[in-house]
Amino acid sequence: MLTIPLLVGFYYVVPVDAVDAFAVPRIIGTVLVVVVLGRTILSELRNRDSDISSLVILFLAVVIVGSLLFFTLQTHRPQEFVGLETRTDALYFTLTAMTTVGFGDIHAQGQVARAVVSVLLVFDVVFIAALLSRMSDRLLRPLNDLATIDNDASAEPSTRAESVSREGEENT
């Protein structure tokens, strides 16, 4: 559980207002982080036995990366957002966008910001659906195991009766 405060702390200390000479490496780094996150999330979603907490941490990582992306975009292209001025604003906007609440106090105005928000929303719908599917699997697994045990237990007497019946037929 130490991961969550570390991710949030990382979010608030990462510099985003660096000189333009670092813009290309920063973009490449962001793309690499997104690719690694995407691959990790796909791997976790394919692994039906993975722990739900790892998916929640990955979700938080996506929130942090999205918030950093929005804050960096606003820092370098201030016309892209209305109302987004601080890192907390970016985190708040990311969470309201991902939960589809959208209060309207902060919103994407430019085309680049709208494209990034759209990608985040599509990701969110797919990820939340997968997370809910995983949670329902985890909740229903004990019930399915009980049903299997009950079916095996109720099948045993009939199996015994059949074998006793066969033995009786063989003896006569």
* pTM beyond cutoff 0.85: no
Q: What are 49-95's pLDDT values in tens digits?
A: 666 777 777 788 888 888 988 998 998 889 999 999 999 999 999 99
How far apart (Å, rounded) are the C-alpha atoms in residues 147 and 149? Answer: 5
83 backbone φψ class: left, alpha, beta (φ>0; ψ -120 to 50): left
3-state SS of the chain: helix, strand, coil percent to 5? 80, 0, 15
Cα gap 124→81, rounded to integer Å: 20
SS3 label, residue 77:
coil
- How far, in Å, CA of 58 to CA of 64, rounded? 10
Q: Which amino acid, one-letter code, is at 149? A: I
Place of tokens 């309207």: 104
Q: Which residues pair with 82 in a beta bridge?
A: 107
Q: What is the pLDDT of residues 124-163, one digit of tens each?
A: 888 888 778 877 877 787 777 777 776 666 655 555 555 5
Please give the average per-residue pLDDT across 21-39, as a whole number.
Answer: 68
* Res 127: pLDDT: 80
